[in-house]
Amino acid sequence: MAGNWKMYKTAAETTAFFQKFAPMVAAATHAEIVICPPFVNLPAAVDAARSANIEIGAQDVFWLTEGAYTGEVSAPMLAAIGCRWVIIGHSERRQYFGETEETVLKKTKAALDAGLKPIVCVGERLEEREAGATESVCGAQFDGGLASLESEQFARIAMAYEPVWAIGTGKTATPEMAAGAHRFLRSRIALRFGHKIAAACRILYGGSVKPDNVKGLMAQPEIDGVLVGGASLDPASFASIVRFARQLTITRQFLS
Ligand code: PEP
């Protein structure tokens, strides 16, 4: 269950969030909980989450380890401060900052080399969904980037299906729509990397997940978890989403 804070909260607000949130999720020991604050708040978040069952992730990373790249942050720098995860290829980065399949792939490899766990996002825009192109868009995003990883590398990533039209809009994909896209992605993963790796791959759903719609989404066996923007900013709201985390079972019926 991952929270993407986008460009919200100061360091003091980050610490205050964890003071409330950590006790709320202390009993959810089966859940993998990840919070991704802005870069400048990562040290405060790592510090605040140190004795809690919460891991910290970044929202982006550069693909080289160091150099004259003003404004960028490398994967070894993130790992060195205790960051464990990184979101790569979020639709906001694709839309506003020129992220492409090529950069997604380079960033994913850099993150893996540094021991970080990438959450790689794919998803279609509204006009693509309306044109019936969801599968061709998500398939092309997968084929143009992640499909070039080695199996051993792919086995260490999580994916997020995030339909762009559902992000920050209040419009959630229905559980059936989300599950259909997840099923498609998993079959594409199976074609490239085999059934075992496909079955084990965590695929999160993201797009206006809230405490009142998470139950229906998590009831779909295809949906392993959620990537949550707005509703992860409030401790009580994200804690009530985390309640629906379940243990991942790799024996998926449709693959057996
Ligand atoms: C996101 O930022 O990945 C996201 C899904 O945002 P929201 O939950 O606000 O739609």
Contact 2, 225 (CB under 8 A): yes
What pLDDT is recorded for position 255? 45
Catalytic residue flag (residue 195): no
What is the number of other CB atoms lying within 10 angstroms of the CB of residue 62? 19
Kindly report, residue by residue over 218-256, the tens digit of the pLDDT.
999 999 999 999 999 999 999 999 999 987 554 454 443
The amino acid at 143: D
How many Cα neighbours within 13 Å face the side chain of 20?
A: 14
Ligand 1 centroid, distance to 173 Cα (angstroms): 12
- Our mutation pick for probing the ligand 1 site, out of 162, 169, 223, 233, counting the most ligand atoms within 8 A of Cβ, is 162
Which among 250, 240, 249 has a CA at the least distance from the CA of 33? 240
139-189 residue pLDDT tens: 999 999 999 999 999 999 999 999 999 998 988 889 999 999 999 999 999
> Ligand 1 centre and the CA of 156: distance in Å?
23
Indicate which residue of 90, 99, 124, 182 is catalytic: 90
pLDDT of residue 247: 72
Distance CA 81, CA 84 (A): 9
pLDDT in tens, 16-44: 999 999 999 999 998 999 999 999 999 99
Query: Within its chain, how far is the Cα of 185 from the centroid?
Result: 15
* HEC-encoded secondary structure of 16-61: HHHHHHHHHHCCCCCCCEEEECCHHHHHHHHHHHCCCCEEEEECCC
Collect all residues with Cβ–Cβ distance below 8 Å to 47 and sequence separation of at least 6: 15
